[in-house]
Amino acid sequence: MTDMAKSLDDLMAEGVAGRRVLVRSDLNVPLDGSTVTDDGRVRASLPVLTKLADAGARLIVMAHLGRPKGTVDPKYSIEPAAARLAELADADVVVASDVVGQDAHEKAEALQDGQILVLENVRFDPRETSKDDAEREEFAAELASLAGENGAYVDDAFGAVHRKHASVYDIARALPGYLGDLVKTEVDVLRKVISDPERPFVVVMGGSKVSDKLAVIDNLIGKADSLLIGGGMVFTFLAAQGHAVGSSLLEKDQIDTVKGYLDRAAEAGTEIVLPVDVVYASEFSKDAEHEVRPVSDIEGGKIGDSGLGLDIGPESAELFARTIAEAKTVFWNGPVGVFEMPAFANGTKTVAQALVDSDAMSVIGGGDSASAVRNLGYRDDQFGHISTGGGASLEYIEGKELPGLVALGA
């Protein structure tokens, strides 16, 4: 944190009883219809909301869910996430049927000390994500008006700080702004990981596309001791080494870039660890016929050479686990296989278990990795830190400036 950034503790010291405080929370949870399938982000938002409510603040929560593209779309309503918040919170939670309309204003003005009002999805208003500064500023001013005189703004949505959106960036110019505890903790942890990790420092990178992680890999070469590559992105690395990858996900236009990374890493002292075997399937299906093949097996087995890789193989999983066991700091972003299908979840589960068994400081970089460990039956407290922001944590690791932090002087 810089000296310019004000924390939640600073706001609490000023006093919040009777004041309306706008809080940008991250309630962007996965849904199955109207059922929240992973409430991790809702739970992560609770401590700050509870802290403020207990101190007598009148809270107005701003949040988004999905990408409704500036139109009111019932399937992206914030209501299921707000309902889960109401179940978990000790405070009284009410929900507005609009964002800055009549219902939002009436309910904001009726708030009592310790109550929480959740506004409808801020992305229902096209100005939230507008590229036009004036449009975003106009929307931010309308949001700020809900707080009335002596209002304040708290950013506790790390998962959105990489967005230059009205409820993240412009609102901090319309009201006195403060860093929420969740955001402060996220930044402190990630800063430690990237700037001063205890070594060996191991990074596990997964996910589907290498192009999504190019800047991260680029920034980690020379900083990480080992980079373990899995997921769909690994096939571009294997192809760069001359291996056949069947019909697996492959970004041919990135092969030369990946070759450059392999050469640079060797010179910089960062070991890039790739799978030695892969689970190939006949099709992308949980019931697909599948087999384990060494990466050097260009002939293919019973699946044939057109199979697609959906997980790292058992030897690779053990290789990853041994590397993690020797680490003192581990950052993990992206599952190493299609963990949603049991036949292709072993690699991701082995990585998760290795982190649980390890004494290393473990940081899971949000998004699919966080959902994976929860869906595989692990608890959050079995890991050192689970980030609430996949994209935000990646951009921070890339070394980018994040607009939500810049707006607060952090």
Per-domain residue ranges of the chain: 8-185, 197-396
Catalytic residue among 43, 209, 264, 328: 209
Closest CA to 153 of 183, 130, 133, 185: 183
Catalytic residue among 70, 300, 391, 409: 391
| Residue 192, Cβ density class (10 Å: 0-12 exposed, 13-18 middle, ≥19 buried) | middle
Enter the tokens of residue 133: 């500064």
* Mean pLDDT, range 330-351, rounded to an integer: 96
DSSP string across 10-50: HHHHH--TT-EEEEE------EETTEES--HHHHHHHHHHH
Q: Grade residue 209 by pLDDT with cuts at 50, 70 and 90.
A: confident
For the cut 90, the answer to whether the pLDDT of residue 296 exceeds it is no
| Mean pLDDT score across all residues of the chain | 94
Side chain identity, residue 410: A
| Binding-site annotation, residues for ATP | 213, 309, 340, 366-369
Of the two residues 394 and 352, the one the predictor is more confident about is 352
| Binding-site annotation, residues for (2R)-3-phosphoglycerate | 41, 123, 163
For the cut 60, the answer to whether the pLDDT of residue 195 exceeds it is yes
Enter the tokens of residue 64: 């988004």
Enter the tokens of residue 254: 């990135």
Distance CA 389, CA 393 (A): 6
**Tens digits of per-residue pLDDT, 217-247?**
999 999 999 999 999 999 999 999 999 898 9
State the fold for domain 197-396: Rossmann fold (3.40.50)
Helix (H, G, I), strand (E, B) or coil at 349: helix
Residue 320 has a pLDDT of 98
Q: Grade residue 370 by pLDDT with cuts at 50, 70 and 90.
A: confident
| Binding-site annotation, residues for substrate | 26-28, 41, 64-67, 123, 163
Residue 390 has a pLDDT of 80
Catalytic residue among 177, 307, 367, 390: 367
Known catalytic membership, residue 41: yes
List, in order, residues 6 or more apart from 322 with CB less than 8 Å away.
none
DSSP string across 102-152: HHHHHHHHT--TT-EEEPS-GGGSTTTT-S-HHHHHHHHHHHHHTT-TT-E
Known catalytic membership, residue 259: no
Catalytic residue among 41, 127, 164, 293: 41
Backbone phi, psi, residue 329, to 5°: -135, 130
Integer CA distances (angstroms), 171 to 150, 222, 225, in order: 14, 38, 40
Of the two residues 389 and 205, the one the predictor is more confident about is 205
Instruction: Identify whether the C-beta of residue 131 lies closer than 8 Å to the C-beta of residue 2.
Output: no
* 100 secondary structure, DSSP code: S
For the cut 60, the answer to whether the pLDDT of residue 3 exceeds it is no
Residue 300 has a pLDDT of 59
Known catalytic membership, residue 191: no
Distance CA 241, CA 296 (A): 10
For the cut 90, the answer to whether the pLDDT of residue 299 exceeds it is no
Integer CA distances (angstroms), 243 to 203, 236, 239, 283, in order: 23, 9, 5, 20
Q: The pTM is what?
A: 0.87
**Tens digits of per-residue pLDDT, 21-32?**
999 999 999 999
Residue 371 has a pLDDT of 85
* Mean pLDDT, range 46-68, rounded to an integer: 97
Known catalytic membership, residue 349: no
Lowest mean pLDDT across 121-125, 212-216, 275-279, 303-307: 303-307
| Binding-site annotation, residues | 26-28, 41, 64-67, 123, 163, 213, 309, 340, 366-369
CATH of 8-185, one of 3.50.50.60, 3.40.50.1260, 3.30.590.20, 3.40.50.11890: 3.40.50.1260
Instruction: Identify whether the C-beta of residue 157 lies closer than 8 Å to the C-beta of residue 25.
Output: yes
* Mean pLDDT, range 68-79, rounded to an integer: 96
Q: Do domains 8-185 and 197-396 have the same CATH topology?
A: yes
Residue 208 has a pLDDT of 86
* Mean pLDDT, range 293-318, rounded to an integer: 83
